[in-house]
Structure 1
Amino acid sequence: MNPLNFPWLHPFLMSVYPVLGLYQANLYQVLPQETYLPFLFSVILCLCFFLIYTVITRKLRISAVLTSISLYLFFSYGHLEKFIKQPLLIYLLFGGLIFTAARKLKYVKNTDKLHFWTNIFSLVLVAIPLVQVINYQLRIKVDFSGESVSTVVTRAVSAEKLPDIYFIIFDRYASADSLKKEFDYDLSPFTDYLKGKNFFIASKSWANYTSSAHSLTATLNMDYLDNPLDAGMKESQDWLPLYRMLENNRIQAELKKLGYKYYHFGDWWWPTGKNRHADENVNLNVLSEFSAILVNNSALKPLAEKFRLPLLDYRYTQWRRIRYKFDKLKEIPVEPRPTFVFAHMLVPHEPFVFRQDGSFLPLAEDSARSYKTKYLDQIEYLNREVIKLTDKFLEDKSNPPIIIFQADEGPYPEAYEADKQEFDWSEASQKEIALKMSILNAVYLPGEDYKNLKEDFSPVNNFRLVKAFLYGQEPELLPDLYQLTNMGKPYDYYRYDRQ
């Protein structure tokens, strides 16, 4: 028998294609292991379709064709949704196409030719992304670790005197100035509260980079990224070396050597979802970002949203995750060992899942509200939670902690949102750059007067300041630099001269 006439080949290939295609489209930002669960789900779905159609038609060859059609339609839902807004109409369309195909197939006497061409079509579909994936995997990748940036400190400090350290990132939390200019929002009640608790508010602080990956990597390694990443990397599209630097960051290694217990609070973005160096990872792990995108493009999406399925509705899961992490953060101060807490909170980052009072924002309500209203609702909710969290952190007066509340980037300007892959920051307006780079940056050091800090103090120096405080030394601060990139060329920096 000609292998290309084999009826079970194309259903398998059609189950593989959606996952492989999505992986190829995100090749430079996703690890292969992120695809394992989606591949398993897709193959199981293929078997379910095949069994259902076999029971109905009692013809294996016809069932195989209907399975391939169903898989193709199932994972095409997200594309059709852009043109047909009612899920019921899409379901009716799918049902009509499958019913019509089943009726036509009843009259096909020799299915070998049909299976031959369906297999050819499926092989071509799979081959296109597969060639690119194999080519990428065979290429030599540059591997950087955080420890290559600088020598790890081994100096001993008494663990009994070490304060807890809380580094909490609120992704895309704009500065007070940006909130006033762009959103007509007064942040002063919140910042006044922090100042009253002896926080230093770097009110004119800018992120050192435009993306979370760059900004967090620079902050946690206490250095700029152009030195380890400039050799032959300018044209690279590969984000994975940067993600490895983020995971193997210098500050967690140094603090663990001093006796700190490392808590890592992750989110849905996989580079910070968990950290293998952490003593304890805290996250509400349901679906990875990659799996969530696959579900969001499939016919499961409206069902997941309507019934708030914990395994599938990524918006409802994110609402639960943020609340869960705030609750867990309040438990950390009772830990007897000195602790270093890294917490990446993807809020006010989209998806906007909070109403102003902290309750869940359903998708239908989300669609009816403006971006400004939704963004400010996240800010209002966050501010109340941060105040409660700060009060909890500062309960112990005998050994108060070090606290950093920081954003890693500001909100996206509309022009950048529309063309993240190729956006040219050298052509951007000062207003667009300021919106993207202006961030919340608040630091609490027990008993400090912050006399040497300036309002434009930037995050690359946050942990240089922390280290100097721990050792009773003057901080060796780097000059504040601002480097902008797009998603297509993450190492092709445009250095902005801030006036």
Structure 2
Amino acid sequence: MKKRLENKPYFIILIGVFYLLSLVNQYYPILRVSDLTLPVALLLIAINVFLYIIFTFIFPKLLKYALLLLYLQMVYFFYGSLQDFLKDNINLLSRYRYLLPLLLGVGVIIWIALKRSSASFAKHFRYLNTLFIILVVIEVVRSITITATDGQSKLWFSQRKDLRINTAICDTCFKPDIYFVIFDGYTASRTLKEYWNYDNNGLDSFFRQNGFYYAWHSRSNYNSTPYSIGSILNMGYHAKRPNRKIDVVQFCKGIESVQTNSVCKILEKNNYKIINQSCFPLPNQKAPLTITYLTRKERILLAQTLWSRAMVDIGWNFPFLNRSSGHVAAQIARAKSNRLQVTKAYDSLLKISAQHYQQPVFVYAHFFVPHDPYFYDSTGKITPDSTWIHSRNAKERYLSQLKYTNTIIKDVVTHLKKEGNRPRVLIIQSDHGFRTYGNVALRPLEFNNLNAIYFPDKDYAQLYDSITSVNTFPVVFRKYLHAPIPLLKDSTIFLIK
């Protein structure tokens, strides 16, 4: 065995296995072990096996250059991780103009050193083979652990020291149905007036006439959907704040906080039936809707590679690579999926609201409007699909889709307010506001959100006009479960988009 480790470049294959397993663990629950059977994953392994065969059987005299190949594999597979590390520690060096020449220079030095050397590299081979065997085993164990615990060991949200789930159990309390309905990216009426010069009084007055408490100066706590929803459903702020652009990895961290949230756990302890009609998994429940840009798992598997990272960061310099007919068609297909899911969310929510459940229910529904892509005009008519993927006139197109979203909101509220077998608490919110201002000075506006809450008894003494989303459920639980959950300081945390 020792001789094999010294003479065979198993690390050429093992590095690909390690890369894929580490991705599955890092992106869980978006990626799972079963996704390693996807064609792109199998292709990566096949290429590595082919390279191993070349060095081992076809050109054995070139065996020492397997070390150079390993270096190139490391650069390709882990470029994104290296760049993120440099951004956090040596930002200047993370720029392509410096990093790529540096990596190329190191590669040239390795090549020259190998060419000039006549020494045996048996010890190097043994060390690298052993190292990657250990790394693969570690990732396998991590994968088993994460799957067994459903990712609960990887949480990023802050566990509130003053939150005890058992203290929020109330056997004698009146327990209404709770409907938590999110309209993604809906900005506050005050911002619509300030930035669009649009009077949204039609919706504002609708809420007031229907007995809602309308928080005019409400704000979201985060400007990123999973972080905002995770904060709301955990009634707390995230323990870690990403200090770089929100990529797929960071997005998944936010999703994890939703998947194991405290609100659902408390409600389950109080005999609530949890009904998920959102794009995020809840405790013991899968997401019935999908986040379209996360459904292309092949893209996620390659997200941290040199090629994929370069296309995201500097691909705009090469329009022929990003604007091919296939690329445009894929974007339109994802936009169409979003539109269909708006219809699905609407139909499912109305169907649920018409049913009578023996136990109280908590329903979380998520509508992907008025967030882009903008496929509705103000009347609900579908716009030409060729306009869905362009950012031109985003301000005007957002407002048009928002106007139609108002129609959806009114219709949803009207149905939810119909008499059921028990009274209902209705929470109509947005996760954040409009985010495409194109002006750094306007970034604070991204937090100005929609926030309308309905209590059956219309006693809103615990609500206040400037409430932020994180304090939504503490108020609800204090009122209906008599839970001693203190409110948090209302703060906003800007995440880099």
TM over 0.5: yes
**Structure 2 residue 290 is the aligned partner of structure 1 residue 343:** no
Q: SS state of the match for residue 341, structure 1?
A: strand
Overall identity of the aligned pairs, in %:
20
In the alignment, the residues of structure 1 paired with residue 325 and residue 66 of structure 2 have an alpha-carbon distance, to the nearest angstrom, of: 31
1:380 aligns with 2:393: no
Secondary structure in structure 2 of the residue aligned to 1:402: strand
- The whole-number CA distance in structure 1 between the counterparts of 2:282 and 2:356 is 20
2:495 alignment counterpart: 486
Give distance in 2, aligned partners of 1:21 and 1:370: 42
**Structure 1 match to 2:35:** 37
Against the structure 1 CA distance between its residues 289 and 120, is the aligned structure 2 distance closer, same or farther, given a 3 Å change threshold? farther
Q: Is the 8 A contact 2:223 2:432 kept in 1?
A: yes
- Correspondence for 1:363: 386
**1:312-348 alpha-carbon deviations (Å, 9 max, x no partner):** x211111111211111011112041321112233332
Q: Secondary structure at the match of 2:180?
A: strand
Deviation at 1:368, TM superposition (A): 7.9
Residue from 204, 210, 231 that aligns with 1:191: 204
User: Any residues of structure 2 matched to 1:268-307 within 5 Å, and which?
Assistant: 272=280, 274-278=281-285, 281-283=287-289, 288-289=294-295, 291=297, 293=299, 302-303=325-326, 306=329
**Helix, strand or coil at the partner of 1:367:** coil
SS in 2 for 1:342: strand
* Equivalent residue runs for 1:366-445 within 5 Å: 366-367=389-390, 369-396=392-419, 399-412=422-435, 414=437, 429=441, 431-433=442-444, 435-445=445-455
Q: TM-score, normalised by structure 1?
A: 0.63
Q: Which residue of 2 aligns with 1:316?
A: 336
Give, as a single letter, the amino acid of the residue that structure 2 aligns with 1:439: N
Higher helix proportion (structure 1 or 2): 2
Unmatched 5+ residue regions in structure 2? 1-7, 83-134, 147-152, 312-320
Residue 422 (structure 1) aligns with: none
CA separation of 1:412/1:259 partners in 2, compared to 1, >3 Å: closer, same or farther?
Answer: same
How far, CA to CA, are the matches of 2:343 and 2:298 in structure 1? Answer: 19
Name the SS of the counterpart of 2:458 in structure 1. Answer: coil
User: The residue matched to 1:314 in structure 2 has which SS?
Assistant: helix
CA distance in 2, matches of 1:46, 1:244: 28
Does residue 127 of structure 1 match 2:141? no
Matched residue SS, 2:339: helix
Find the aligned partners of 1:119 and 1:355 in 2 and give their Cα distance.
58
SS of equivalent to 2:363? strand
User: What's the CA shift string for 1:46-71, capped at 9, x where partnerless?
Assistant: 8999xxxxxxxxxxx9xx99xxxxxx
Structure 1 residue aligned with 2:267? 255
Deviation by residue 1:171-195 (Cα, 9 ceiling, x = unmatched): 2211001111112222110121111
Alignment of 1:15-164 (within 5 A): 33=31, 37=35, 40-42=38-40, 123-128=70-75, 129-130=77-78, 132=81, 143=155, 149=161, 150-152=163-165, 153=167, 155-157=169-171, 162-164=175-177
Following superposition, the deviation at residue 165 of structure 1 comes to 0.7
Per-residue CA deviation, residues 68-124 of structure 1 (Å, 9 max, x unaligned), is xxxxxxxxxxxxxxxxxxxxxxxxxxxxxxxxxxxxxxxxxxx969x9999888755
In structure 2, distance between residues paired with 1:244 and 1:289: 16
State the distance in 1 between where 2:242 and 2:226 align: 16
CA contact (8 A) 1:180 1:186 kept: yes
C-alpha distance after superposition, 1:401-429 (max 9, x if no partner): 1111111222225458xxxxxxxxxxx63
Report the residue type matching 1:211 in the other structure: S
How many residue pairs get matched? 399
Give the direction of change, closer, same or farther, for the CA distance of 1:205–1:277 in structure 2 (3 Å limit): same
Deviations 1:370-410 (A, max 9, x none): 10122113212221111111111111166331111111222
Q: CA deviation at 1:283?
A: 2.1
Q: How do 1:201-280 residues align onto structure 2 when only pairs under 5 Å count?
A: 201-225=214-238, 229=239, 239=250, 243-267=255-279, 272=280, 274-278=281-285
SS at match of 2:230: helix
Q: 1:319 to 1:44 in 2, by over 3 A?
A: farther
Question: How many angstroms apart in 1 are the aligned matches of 2:223 and 2:388?
Answer: 30
**2: distance between equivalents of 1:360 and 1:276?**
37
Q: Runs of 5+ in structure 1 lacking a partner?
A: 1-5, 50-60, 66-110, 417-427, 489-499
